[in-house]
Amino acid sequence: MVDLLAIWTAVFFTLAIYSILYRDTAWYRIAESVYLGVAVGYGVSVDLLYVRNQWTTGGWSTPGVMLAGFAIAVIMGILWYFRFIKQYFYLYRWPLSIIVGTGIGLALRAVIFVQFRDMIVAQVRLNLWVPTNMLTTFNNILLFIMVPCVLLYFWFTGAKIRETAPMKVVDKIARYTMMAGFGSAFGYTILTRFSMFIGRAQFLLGITPNPPENRTAFIVLALLILGSMIVYDLFFKKKS
């Protein structure tokens, strides 16, 4: 019975979310509210459990610097809630500024090392000739040509240099490269969404390895939700 209850619940919320394709229905709002409530509640419980574990097993209860750091962290966490008190709203800016500043610092460090230095090193170390793999050779040659062209495309030089024949070729290669990159990224995103939809459709239809009971729950709940939406619309149309 517990397994069946889990199956019917999962099917119901899946169909309730997809009911947004019909319009903004009550089923969708119920599923949305339950999902957000559960997610927020789960997140709060995980955070509280983390704080408790840091106190009991993380060493923060040790008198001295560790205890002072734990107290400061708890105070900063409490200051977040002053956002809801207009009189003391300025206290909310302290933890916000600390979090944003720390996050930007860590992000910039990662960007410099990962997206700047490491990419330059990888570009310099490209092996343009791989005799055992011609596809890799072709790929490396394309990278060796396209990456500098894209960088030069955003290199704001004088109009006279831009009008020269070599720079026109560089600009054209850069535009083709960026369009190929944007197109592949968009296509990958669409394929990912379709993959998620196909997986959920297989779940609703009870296709292996999903339980076959899913199909029964899908048929019953789909008819129930669709019928309720149609009856609701007909009732209000007649009433109006």
pTM: 0.66
3-state secondary structure (DSSP) of residue 57 = coil
On whether the CB atoms of residues 143 and 126 are closer than 8 A, the answer is yes
The two tokens of residue 236 are 């209000």
> What is the residue-averaged pLDDT of the chain?
88
Mean pLDDT of 2-12: 92
- Dihedral of alpha carbons 42, 44, 47, 53, sign: negative
Read off the pLDDT band of 120 (50, 70, 90).
confident
Arithmetic mean of pLDDT, 119-137: 85
Contact 19, 225 (CB under 8 A): yes
Give whole-number Cα distances, 118 to 81, 111, 115, in Å. 41, 10, 6
Identify the pLDDT of residue 234: 85
Asked whether the beta carbons of 186 and 193 are under 8 A apart, the reply is no
Indicate whether 52 pLDDT > 90: no
Helices marked H in the chain? 2-18, 26-56, 65-79, 89-112, 118-124, 134-153, 159-162, 165-205, 213-239
pLDDT at residue 238 above 70? no
Residue 207: its H or E element: none
* Tokens describing residue 128: 């343009």
CA distances from 92 to 76, 86, 213 (A): 9, 10, 50
- 10 Å Cβ neighbour count for 210? 15
Do the Cβ atoms of 70 and 61 come closer than 8 Å? Answer: yes
Give the per-residue pLDDT at 156. 66
Structure tokens at 112: 């410099």
Identify the CA nearest to 221 among candidates 19, 38, 22: 19
> 176, 187, 188: which is closest to 142 by C-alpha?
176
114: Cα separation from own chain's centroid? 20
What number is the average pLDDT over the span 119-133?
84
